[in-house]
Every structure is written in C-alpha cells, then in structure tokens.
C-alpha cells in the first residue's frame, strides 16, 4: 500500500510522452507537469464519477489538466415515475452542472441505463471513443460491484486499455463501498480535504438522486479513507499494476 500524499507535481524537462515511454520501460512513475495530462473519468451513470473521484477531479483540474467525464449512460432508469427520455434529459442537465463545478467536460457514450450491453460491437464503439480522447490516464469503476452497469463500464475500459496497448495509466475508483463496490484494497490515495466542498456540490447537483442519502455514504468513505492517510478527507484508488503510473496530487 502506498500513499502519494505530499508529493508534488514537478515539471520535467522531458516531454510527457518521453516520460510515459520511460515509465513504461522501467515500470516507474511518469511525472507530469501541471496542465499536461489528458484525463478521462469513465463512469456508468451521472453521479458515479463525482462520487468516486470528484475531489480528485477537482484537484487535477486545479492543476490545469484536461478532464473529460465520460458517462456510459444518461441514467435513464434512475428516476421513478419518469420515462427514460425524460429522466435522461434531467440527469444530463445535472451531469452538465456537476461538470461545471468540477471544471470538466461531460461526454456521453450513448448506452442506455437498464439496457447496457457488453459485446464485441460495444467494445469496438467504446474503444473508438477512448481513442478519440487520447487519454494519459483513465479512472473507472472497480469491476467487483453489485451494479451491472458499473461492471460493464469497467470491462469496456479494460478492453480498450488492452487494445490501446496499455498506453494510458489505469486507476479504479470505488462507489458506495460496502453496498456496491467490494473487495477494494487501495494502492493510492488523494487528499481531497481542500476540494471536498466542490465534490459535495457536484454530487448535490444530482438533485434527482436523493443526494442527502447517497452522499452520506460517501462522506463516511471520504472520512474513512482520510483517516488511513491522516487527512480529513481522501479518495482511494487501485492502480492497475501493469499500467503506467501518473503522479497523483498529494
Ligand atoms: Zn452508478
């Protein structure tokens, strides 16, 4: 288990590409100067990236990195009494508001909540989208999760990572741990004490999802992960050991 808190991002004379290549060869951390990274946070539904790593997204966007939040669906099944179309419109607007708060660009992968597919055509479709974003690092769902859409997103990202010759750093985040994510043993932490308020605001932008209830769980998680690194609030990640490693903010 390794904490990267208090490490700082240092500019390097070498280009990021060279650093990444060196990291790939040596299996070591690739250092990135502020503003150099293209970051994709891949979630299943509006609110997943925000809850899983909203504090880290805010820290990375503060450093000038380019953040794309890629939602697999628009959460069409997620509002009781609303049609899929209506719920999708409401939740798209909520996601756009959350992204404004976190200074990220929203993108939607076009699948439908409740009808998510994982097959060869969907693997190809998702690969093309990720290739289009040219990410240096991707954060996505941990695959052992009670929600079928979370598992699907994780598999789609993993397949793209393999087919893109493992060229981006791959980190997994946790959501509703104990209720959804399980068997999650962190390898990395990010201190989100300074950005927890923005994470909270981004989560509360999802007003249709009863944020008081779901954020209470994540508040406990943020505090628990914080205790593990002696911070007030933290988010935890599992780094894919065969992927590049990006220096996360301390
Ligand atoms: Zn979800």
Summarised one tens digit per residue, pLDDT across range 175-233 is 999 999 999 999 999 999 999 999 999 999 999 999 999 999 999 999 999 999 999 99
Asked if 174 and 145 touch (Cβ cutoff 8 Å), the reply is no
Residue of 170, 240, 160, 201 whose CA lies nearest to 58: 201
* Residues 6+ away with beta carbon under 8 Å from 120: none
Q: How far is the CA of 219 from the centre of ligand 1 (A)?
A: 17
Q: Cα(164)–Cα(31) distance, rounded to whole angstroms?
A: 21
Q: How far is the CA of 131 from the centre of ligand 1 (A)?
A: 23
Look up the pTM and report it.
0.88
Q: How far is the CA of 154 from the centre of ligand 1 (A)?
A: 12
Q: Which of the four pLDDT bands, split at 50, 70 and 90, describes residue 249?
A: confident
Q: How far is the CA of 54 from the centre of ligand 1 (A)?
A: 14
**Burial 8-24, CB ≥16 within 10 A → b, else e:** ebeeeeeebeebbebbb
pLDDT recorded at residue 34: 64
Mean pLDDT of the chain: 89
Task: Tokens 């397949």: give the residue.
Answer: 159
Mean pLDDT of the 80-86 span: 95
């Amino acid at each position: 288990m390794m904490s990267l808190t208090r490490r700082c991002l240092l500019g390097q004379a070498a280009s990021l590409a060279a650093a990444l290549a060196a990291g790939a060869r040596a299996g070591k951390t690739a250092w990135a100067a502020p503003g150099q990274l293209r970051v994709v946070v891949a979630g299943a539904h509006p609110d997943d990236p925000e809850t899983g790593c909203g504090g880290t997204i805010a820290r990375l966007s503060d450093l000038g990195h380019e953040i794309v939040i890629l939602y697999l669906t628009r959460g069409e099944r997620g509002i009781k009494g609303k049609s899929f179309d209506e719920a999708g419109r409401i939740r798209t607007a909520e996601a756009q508001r959350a992204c404004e708060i976190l200074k990220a660009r929203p993108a939607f992968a076009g699948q439908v909540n409740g009808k998510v597919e994982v097959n060869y055509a969907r693997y190809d479709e998702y690969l093309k989208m990720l290739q289009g974003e040219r990410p240096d690092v991707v954060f996505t769902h941990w695959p052992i999760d009670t929600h079928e859409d979370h598992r699907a997103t994780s598999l789609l990202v993993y397949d793209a990572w393999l087919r893109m010759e493992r060229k981006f750093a791959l980190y997994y985040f946790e959501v509703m741990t104990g209720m959804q994510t399980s068997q999650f043993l962190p390898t990395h932490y990010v201190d989100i004490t300074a950005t927890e308020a923005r994470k909270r605001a981004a989560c509360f932008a999802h007003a249709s999802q009863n944020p008081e209830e779901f954020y209470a769980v994540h508040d406990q998680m943020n505090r628990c992960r914080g205790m593990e690194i002696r911070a007030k609030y933290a988010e935890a990640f599992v780094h894919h050991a065969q992927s590049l490693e990006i220096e996360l903010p301390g």
